Amino acid sequence: MSLHPCRECGHEVSDDALACPHCGCAHPAVQKSLGCGGWVLLFAALAMAAAVIRTVIERH
Ligand SMILES: [Zn+2]
């Protein structure tokens, strides 16, 4: 058992806690993973970077 900061309120909670004793969020020691929206944002950022790079290359 070790302590981790709660992903919602930041208080230290045990990694096997089912709920945060401070804010009540479920599985507080489990970090938020990159969800579907995160991948879409990452892809959009890459596409934008590629477009900018292409524009810079065409100018030269
Ligand atoms: Zn909490």
- Centroid of ligand 1 to alpha carbon of 49 (angstroms): 37
pLDDT at 52 (0 to 100):
96
- Centroid of ligand 1 to alpha carbon of 39 (angstroms): 26
pLDDT band at 1 (very low <50, low <70, confident <90, very high): confident
- Centroid of ligand 1 to alpha carbon of 44 (angstroms): 32
For the stretch 36-45, contacts whose Cβ atoms lie closer than 8 Å and that sit 24 or more positions apart, written own/partner, are: none
- Centroid of ligand 1 to alpha carbon of 52 (angstroms): 41
5-54 residue pLDDT tens = 998 999 999 988 999 999 999 988 887 665 677 788 899 999 999 999 99
Cα separation of 47 and 57, whole Å?
15
pLDDT at 34 (0 to 100):
58
- Give me the helices (H) in the chain, please: 36-59
- Centroid of ligand 1 to alpha carbon of 30 (angstroms): 11
